Amino acid sequence: MADPMHGIAEDVRFDHAAASTLVTRCRTAASAIDSQAGVRAAWVQHGMEDFVGYYSQLFRQNGTVQASDARLLASRLREVATGVEQLAREATSEQERRQTAREWKQQ
C-alpha cells in the first residue's frame, strides 16, 4: 500500500527569485504606464489643435481608448504582481507544512 504522506518527500518547486523579479517588473511597468498618462494626454490635446473633421474625431476617440487601455493594463499588471506575491506566500507555507510533516513522520 502506498504511503499516504508520500507528497511530503519533495520540496515545493517554486522559484522565489523569479517570482520576486516578476513582481518588481510588473510594478515597474505599471508605474511607467501611469507616469505616461499626462504626457500622452498632452500629446492628444496638442494633436487636436487645428485638427478638424472625421479624422480629428477618430484621433480623439483613439486617444480616449489608449488612455483607458493604459489604465486597465497598469491595473492588470498590479494584479499579476499581487497574485504572484500570494503564490510565493502559499509556496512558503506549503514548504513549512511539508517540513513539519517530515519531522513528525521521523519521530
Give the DSSP letter string of 13-37.
Answer: ---HHHHHHHHHHHHHHHHHHHHHH
30, 39, 40, 47: which is closest to 81 by C-alpha? 30
For 57-83, what is each residue's pLDDT tens digit? 999 999 999 999 999 999 999 999 999
| Type of residue numbered 31 | S
What pLDDT band is residue 105 in, cutting at 50, 70 and 90?
confident
Cell numbers linked to 28: 515597474
* CA separation for the pair 49, 81 (Å, rounded): 39
Cell numbers linked to 85: 506575491
* CA separation for the pair 93, 104 (Å, rounded): 16
What pLDDT band is residue 101 in, cutting at 50, 70 and 90?
very high
DSSP, collapsed to helix, strand or coil, labels residue 59 as helix
pTM: 0.84
* CA separation for the pair 101, 95 (Å, rounded): 10
For 89-98, what is each residue's pLDDT tens digit? 999 999 999 9
